[in-house]
Structures are given as C-alpha cells and as structure tokens.
Amino acid sequence: SQQGEEDPQALSIQEGENATMNCSYKTSINNLQWYRQNSGRGLVHLILIRSNEREKHSGRLRVTLDTSKKSSSLLITASRAADTASYFCATDPNTGNQFYFGTGTSLTVIP
C-alpha cells in the first residue's frame, strides 16, 4: 500500500494542552496536506506544506516536514474541545490531484 501512517492512532488530552501527531509516508512527494474530519463528515483542509519547505504555521497549527525521513508532524497548540476530530495527512506523489491518505489520528480534547 502507498498509504502513509499516522501516529498515534488515538490521542486524548485536556483542553489547553498541545497535541502532536505524526505522519510517515512511503514515496517522494510534491507536497503534503493535513485535513481534519469530524465524525463521518467531509474533510476540512488545514494546511499545505510544499516539499521544499521544512516548517509552516497557521494560527494554532504548526506543521513540519522532513523529506529525508519521509515524515511530517502536526502540532495543535492550546487545544480546544472543538478540535476533537480525526486528522489525516495526504501526499500527492504524482502531478495530478491523486492523494494518498494516512490512517488518521483520532484526537479527543477533554473540556
């Protein structure tokens, strides 16, 4: 399978704490994107990091990318109960918009 893997599979934290989730992938990529999915609904785009970038910030989100290790991490700072969701990384090794998704991390933020 060309899908990536997220680690951990599940994460439970208290509101206000930081949450870190990791993504590993198998092939070279053009860019990597992170998405959030609330129970059974569509995917919400969070952030895109290009293969020549190492770190990117967006609000409370910080993403890093290490192409030598084929891995990425997503840090959510000062978590809120509304951050409770599943988080997926998606890579596109081809020129088209064909994405390979990781297995997802289920984040629970306890109020």
Partner 1 sequence: KAGVTQTPRYLIKTRGQQVTLSCSPISGHRSVSWYQQTPGQGLQFLFEYFSETQRNKGNFPGRFSGRQFSNSRSEMNVSTLELGDSALYLCASSRMTGVTEAFFGQGTRLTVV
Residue 7: CB minimum distance to partner 1, A: 15
- In the complex with partner 1, the residue whose CB is nearer, 14 or 52, is 52
Q: Could you check whether the bond before residue 111 is cis, i.e. omega within 30 degrees of 0?
A: no
- In the complex with partner 1, the residue whose CB is nearer, 8 or 16, is 8
Where do contacts with partner 1 occur on this chain (CB under 8 A)? 3, 30-31, 33, 35, 40-45, 48, 50, 88, 90, 94-104
Residue 16: CB minimum distance to partner 1, A: 29
- In the complex with partner 1, the residue whose CB is nearer, 33 or 84, is 33
Which tokens is 99 given?
Answer: 């994405």
Q: Residue 56: which residues within 8 A CB-CB, separation 6 or more?
A: 47, 48, 49, 62, 63, 65
Residue 78: CB minimum distance to partner 1, A: 24
Distances (CA, A) of 111 to 15, 32, 57, 83: 5, 30, 25, 11
